[in-house]
Structure 1
Amino acid sequence: MRTNFDFTPYRRTTVGFDRLFEMLESGLLGEAADGYPPFDIVKEEEDRYRITLALAGFRPDEVEITARQDQLVIAGRKAERQDDDTYVYRGIATRSFERRFQLADFVEVRGADFENGLLSIHLQQVFPEEMKPRKIVINSHASAQGGGAPQLTSNRAA
């Protein structure tokens, strides 16, 4: 059961959240409701994350990872094979899938590992230098008479 919610009052009082409201209204946050393949998202450090997908039955060459500006797409395509086996029960899902993750601004994919049926994708949020906070030195009136221009000092963590 889906209920519609009117975001108009919030749109009037916020700036820069248009994409978030569009996602909420279109239902993209609930995308891939079937839950396949299952995944975990782990925050490893303040600016580092890891997404781990359980891909039993897949080989690394059957999985493709695509990173766009604001989206990470993981797709798996299982090659058709001819089995002479007669299965009584087939519980290991090997169906094709495509899982999408919306990435926040300045999140970059740093690498991926595939081990023991688990695909781990390493992400890091990297802010450009001009986006990092900086400390502004306040000049007194006396120092301004000396012809000194306003000074900016960097208070950034390395």
Structure 2
Amino acid sequence: MTAFPMAPLFRQSIGFDRFNDLFESALRNDSGSTYPPYNVERRGDGLYRIVVAVAGFDNADLGLQVERGVLTVSGGKRESEAKEVTYLHQGIAQRAFKLSFRLADHIEVRNASLVNGLLNIDLERIVPEEAKPKRIPINGERPALES
């Protein structure tokens, strides 16, 4: 694996120390599974949706959790209802899974629904007033810092 120096990135930024962790996890060559398949969609200004194909899973089999800016989608292994079934071909995978998505700042999970075997997770960017850009007036008649 090729190491990239991060120092040039941090010379002109303040308070972005956790980006180093983001870059390292993105560059890590994980042999992660592609099961179950999923889409990440942009649905509008500040609106996003994650769609996970979870055919054969029920609401009770699925779990969603957000912790420290990471959304985790998990599905437990389904128990076969008819244990005496002998599959001639089993193409529908119903194994346990765990997907993790790192959420950007101010992204919140708004809704989750299971429709036709697709788990839809709606996300929204809600920027608080204190995080929005502010225009700073320049006043030359009095000092900026007064004691």
TM over 0.5: yes
Percent sequence identity over aligned pairs: 38
Distance, in Å, in 2 between the alignment partners of 1:56 and 1:66 is: 20
Higher helix share: 1
Length-normalised TM-score, structure 1: 0.76
Partner AA of 2:95 in structure 1: R
Spell out the pairing of 1:73-152 with structure 2 (5 A cutoff). Answer: 73-81=72-80, 82-135=82-135
What displacement does 1:32 show? 6.8
Cα gap change, 1:112 to 1:95, in 2 (>3 Å): same
The aligned counterpart of 1:50 is: 49
Q: Identify which range, 54-63 or 19-28, moves more after superposition.
A: 19-28
**Native 8 Å contact 2:69 2:103 kept in 1:** yes
**Native 8 Å contact 2:72 2:98 kept in 1:** yes
**Native 8 Å contact 1:23 1:29 kept in 2:** no
Deviations 1:78-119 (A, max 9, x none): 233352111122111111011000000011100101011000
Partner AA of 1:22 in structure 2: D
Length-normalised TM-score, structure 2: 0.81
What displacement does 1:28 show? 7.2
| Runs of 5+ consecutive residues of structure 1 not aligned to the other structure | 145-158
Partner AA of 1:3 in structure 2: T
SS at 2:8's partner residue?
Answer: helix
**Native 8 Å contact 1:76 1:97 kept in 2:** yes
